[in-house]
Amino acid sequence: MLVVACPGQGSQSEGFLSSWISEVPGFRAELERLSGFCELDLIELGTSAAEEVIKDTSNAQPLIVAAAIASYRTLFEAVDVSGVVGHSVGEFAAAAISGVLSDESAMRLVKIRADAMAEAAGLQPTSMAALLGGEIELIASHLESLGISIANHNGAGQVVAAGGKDAISELVANPPEKTRVIELKVAGAFHTGYMESARLRLKEAADQVESSDPKLALWSNFDGALVSSGAAFLDSLVNQVSRPVRWDLCMESLANMAPAFVELPPAGALTGLVKRGIPGSNPIALKTPSDFEKVSS
């Protein structure tokens, strides 16, 4: 059983799509097609745009989703893929790959999501921080005392906290016992109530979109369970904007099935979590086109 994974925001890096465009037949054409749906020049963003430009939430989210969709459409036609899972915004790519959404709907919605989340982040100063190690009970108690919530349960000893900028600064200065804290370079407190205005804006757009039940196995960041209803998954994509991501539960479901695991570009982050979180797994990260040889062999 082969499962492909679609990464989330923060995985992108300057020029990360250059080799894919130059070495993978049809990749440029796919990006041009996807660019038309979100009204962005994804080729420029993935090749020559400065790091600060592709860190901008409005650009980063559509770019990451497009990279996953384009790599899947150009590389996996002859590969027997059984399932797909996404992390955070990567669930939009997973929705397209599984057939829940058309590529056009996925790209249009993710652009609306990106713009709305960037706008919501500008309403008040907020931030996020990754916490590595420590005991989850102690971490949760410490965060609660600071008025911060867990936005991402990533498993493998990692959670991401989100909240007011001052509270995150206090967390960095005084971390929980046996925990390392790294403030993230993001626009705001994603996957929390600070994003409620963005959720409402995305819901308005999603209500106009048609969905289908998945044609591949698809796991949800809501509870880690297999998705049976495309309409329910679309609702989950909307609510995910202001709700915690449960990647840990997705990994638990995958561990029980012991599939081969391939992370689509921009790859690396999810592969690392799977290596640490699922003992004995041997996930493949498609960081460059040559990495695909490991999949087809």
Sheet harboring 284-285: ordered strands across?
217-219, 83-86, 2-6, 260-263, 284-285
Task: Report the distance separating Cα 86 and Cα 209, nearest Å.
Answer: 20
How many Cβ atoms from other residues are within 10 Å of residue 22's Cβ?
Answer: 11
Of the residues 11, 127, 191, 220, only one is catalytic, namely: 191
Of the residues 88, 98, 105, 236, only one is catalytic, namely: 88
Tell me if residue 191 is catalytic. Answer: yes
Pairing of strands 158-164, 217-219: unpaired
Tell me if residue 88 is catalytic. Answer: yes
Active site residues: 88, 191
